[in-house]
Amino acid sequence: MIAIIDYDAGNIKSVEKAVQFLGEEAIITRDRDVIMDSSGVILPGVGSFGDAMGKINEYGLKNVIYDVVDSGKPFLGICLGLQLLFKTSEETPGVTGLGIVDGQILRIPDAPGLKIPQIGWNSLDINPKARLFKGLPEHPYVYFVHSYYLKADHEEDVAASTFYSTNIHASIEHGNVFACQFHPEKSSTVGLQILKNFIELEA
């Protein structure tokens, strides 16, 4: 069973439906016991860094997330869920994120002919050792909706990158912590394979 953390962030139902489509039980919850009893945990998210951290703190989920990570259970952040894994974001200066992985969340630089937020499909340069991308072609296309991006401190954490005005670290793998800036649940067969790979990690 995959637990999808409910902190009033958008896009949760589409993640649930994608997991269920793959034949895995999924539950949207903020109950600590349910989360800790699951085989894997997903932190989705659409919205602002500051508002999201406010809700995570309000619902007492911060320590639950730390406990999941410490347990070695597979953990997947999606979109804003990736950004929340880091300590700070230029989107909301002064708000402290989870600080689980080292890096910076920065605003995508303006560039001629490019719109911000980035909304649409972009190809990935994937690390062939990355477990989330097992069985995928070399440059798969995935769907992004974001104005802020990750610049990881440690290259070994980067599972995939892309280019949109700047080099973007689009996915990370840090021990049992995985995250994608893009939306696998909206990325057609490629995204379903990524979610399938994540679900199978629990075994």
Measured CA distances, 115 to 71, 109, 141, 187, 192 (Å): 40, 10, 19, 20, 27
Cis check for the bond before 117: say yes or no (omega within 30 of 0).
yes
Domain extent listing, the chain: 2-201
- Which entry of 79, 146, 173, 174 is annotated as an active-site residue? 79
- Looking at residue 203, its pLDDT comes to 45
- Looking at residue 198, its pLDDT comes to 98
d(C-alpha 118, C-alpha 116), whole Å: 5
d(C-alpha 11, C-alpha 51), whole Å: 15
Known active-site residue 156: no
- Per-residue pLDDT tens digits of the chain, which is 203 residues long: 999 999 998 779 999 999 999 999 999 999 999 999 999 999 998 889 999 999 999 999 999 999 999 999 999 999 999 999 999 999 999 999 999 999 999 999 999 999 999 999 999 999 999 999 999 998 999 999 999 999 999 999 999 999 999 999 999 999 999 999 999 999 999 999 999 999 999 64
- Which entry of 24, 91, 173, 185 is annotated as an active-site residue? 185
Tell me the CATH class for 2-201.
alpha beta
- Structure token pair of residue 74: 């597979």
- Looking at residue 11, its pLDDT comes to 74
- Which entry of 146, 169, 174, 183 is annotated as an active-site residue? 183
Known active-site residue 183: yes
- Looking at residue 142, its pLDDT comes to 98
Question: Nearest to residue 89, comparing CAs of 138, 147, 44?
Answer: 147
d(C-alpha 79, C-alpha 17), whole Å: 17
Known active-site residue 25: no
Radius of gyration (C-alpha) of the chain in whole angstroms: 15
